[in-house]
């Protein structure tokens, strides 16, 4: 019998434990082309908050009473598909449970046996690393002479952006909450890291980037985005990846107060939202480049790991209180 986390109720504002329920899933027989996977690692990501809202979006909302979804890595324990055998290492999106039924049509992919730790496929070699890589290299078209500013730089995506930027010879400035996270971001190679909990972002960013920034990788929105606008050089490019600052306030209709949005025009800023799944066709290029940087030691990963399927809500909720440094994962 598999265990799965369902959405019990839709959160209003910050989610809490009442919104989730762990249920037993009966072991139904596999359908055609399906496989059964014993998951070893489960991912929690900020974007999942958006799927808890009942509205049209780029991914359909989670349904009340149904198991939630998310990235997972594990090994096949039963297969009804000719190309997938028992023991194969796979990645899929039927997470939030210890044992999943998945199929290739629904984002099941076989992983190579590289000797890399399995959980890397949920962090730097997975959607997290891909988000960083495609955002920086393709959306913002960052080049070695760019000065890159990254918010949530101690997070899973942000810490990858910092390291990719440095590996490519760019200047990289991070922002993180608290001296420990900032120290870690600097350890990753950042030229500077702003502590947004220590004071307003704008004066700190001006000091860290006296000649301005030319690329902004936005994970948070709000004050960070406004500060970036005030510090940009002409023709800056912004990769708009997320706005965690407002995810939990969206239903309340909270507004972001932008003082410097007008800079967009005069500075000819190019601000572009993106979702990593739009770049699926280019994943081989990402895997090759990222794999080489990891092998060379230029991109390191760090995980905040919680143990056991029971800890999924704790792990997810921790994303919004900054409990993670690097990628937040659950080890089943």
Binding positions for its own copies, rule: CB under 8 A = 50, 57-58, 221, 225, 234, 240-243, 246-247, 250, 253-259, 261-275, 278
* Least distance (Å) between residue 23 CB and its own copies: 29
* Least distance (Å) between residue 225 CB and its own copies: 8
* Least distance (Å) between residue 43 CB and its own copies: 19
- Give the C-alpha separation, 213 to 229, whole Å: 9
- Give the C-alpha separation, 323 to 180, whole Å: 12
Q: Tell me phi and psi for residue 97, to 5 degrees.
A: -150, 160
Contacts of 58 (CB under 8 A, 6+ apart): 275
- Kindly give the pairing relationship between strand 89-92 and strand 72-79: antiparallel
Closer by beta carbon to its own copies, 260 or else 300 = 260
Closer by beta carbon to its own copies, 58 or else 323 = 58
Q: Tell me phi and psi for residue 110, to 5 degrees.
A: -80, 140
* Least distance (Å) between residue 320 CB and its own copies: 15
- Give the C-alpha separation, 178 to 163, whole Å: 20
- Give the C-alpha separation, 226 to 35, whole Å: 47
Closer by beta carbon to its own copies, 107 or else 264 = 264
Closer by beta carbon to its own copies, 147 or else 167 = 147
* Least distance (Å) between residue 136 CB and its own copies: 15
- Give the C-alpha separation, 53 to 161, whole Å: 28
* Least distance (Å) between residue 62 CB and its own copies: 15
Closer by beta carbon to its own copies, 41 or else 279 = 279
Query: Do residues 44 and 315 touch, judged by C-beta distance below 8 A?
Result: yes
* Least distance (Å) between residue 202 CB and its own copies: 11
Closer by beta carbon to its own copies, 30 or else 275 = 275
Query: Do residues 175 and 149 touch, judged by C-beta distance below 8 A?
Result: yes
DSSP structure class, residue 225: H
- Give the C-alpha separation, 12 to 23, whole Å: 22
The DSSP element (H or E) to which 129 belongs, if any, is: helix 127-134
Both tokens assigned to 81: 């598909």
Closer by beta carbon to its own copies, 161 or else 193 = 161
**23, 16, 193: which is closest to 97 by C-alpha?**
23
Query: Do residues 35 and 105 touch, judged by C-beta distance below 8 A?
Result: no
Closer by beta carbon to its own copies, 250 or else 283 = 250
* Least distance (Å) between residue 302 CB and its own copies: 25
């Amino acid at each position: 019998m598999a265990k799965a986390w369902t959405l019990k109720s839709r959160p209003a504002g910050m989610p809490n434990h009442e919104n989730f329920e762990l249920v037993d899933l009966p072991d139904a027989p596999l359908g055609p082309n399906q496989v059964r996977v014993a998951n070893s690692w489960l991912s929690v990501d900020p974007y999942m908050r958006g799927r808890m809202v009942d509205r049209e979006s780029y991914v359909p909302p989670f349904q009340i009473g149904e198991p939630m979804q998310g990235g997972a890595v594990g090994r096949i324990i039963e297969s009804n598909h000719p190309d997938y055998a028992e023991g194969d290492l796979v990645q899929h999106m039927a997470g939030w449970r210890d044992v999943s039924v998945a199929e290739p049509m629904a984002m099941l992919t076989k992983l190579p046996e590289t000797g890399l730790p399995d959980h890397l496929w949920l962090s730097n070699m997975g959607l997290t690393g891909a988000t960083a890589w495609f955002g920086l290299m393709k959306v913002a078209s960052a080049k070695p002479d760019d000065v890159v500013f990254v918010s949530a730089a101690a997070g899973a995506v942000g810490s990858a952006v910092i390291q990719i930027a440095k590996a490519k010879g760019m200047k990289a400035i991070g922002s993180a909450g608290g001296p420990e996270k900032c120290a870690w971001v600097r350890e990753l190679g950042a030229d500077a890291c702003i502590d947004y909990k220590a004071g307003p972002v704008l004066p700190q960013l001006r000091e860290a980037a006296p000649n301005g920034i030319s690329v902004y990788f936005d994970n948070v929105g709000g004050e960070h985005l406004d500060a970036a606008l005030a510090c940009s050089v002409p023709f800056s490019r912004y990769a708009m990846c997320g706005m965690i600052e407002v995810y939990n306030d969206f239903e309340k209709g909270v507004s972001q107060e932008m003082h410097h949005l007008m800079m967009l025009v005069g500075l000819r800023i190019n601000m572009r939202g993106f979702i990593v799944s739009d770049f699926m066709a280019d994943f081989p290029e990402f895997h090759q480049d990222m794999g080489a940087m990891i092998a060379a030691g230029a991109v390191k990963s760090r995980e905040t790991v919680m143990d056991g399927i029971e800890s999924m809500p704790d792990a997810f909720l921790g994303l919004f209180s900054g409990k993670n440094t690097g990628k937040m994962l659950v080890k089943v």
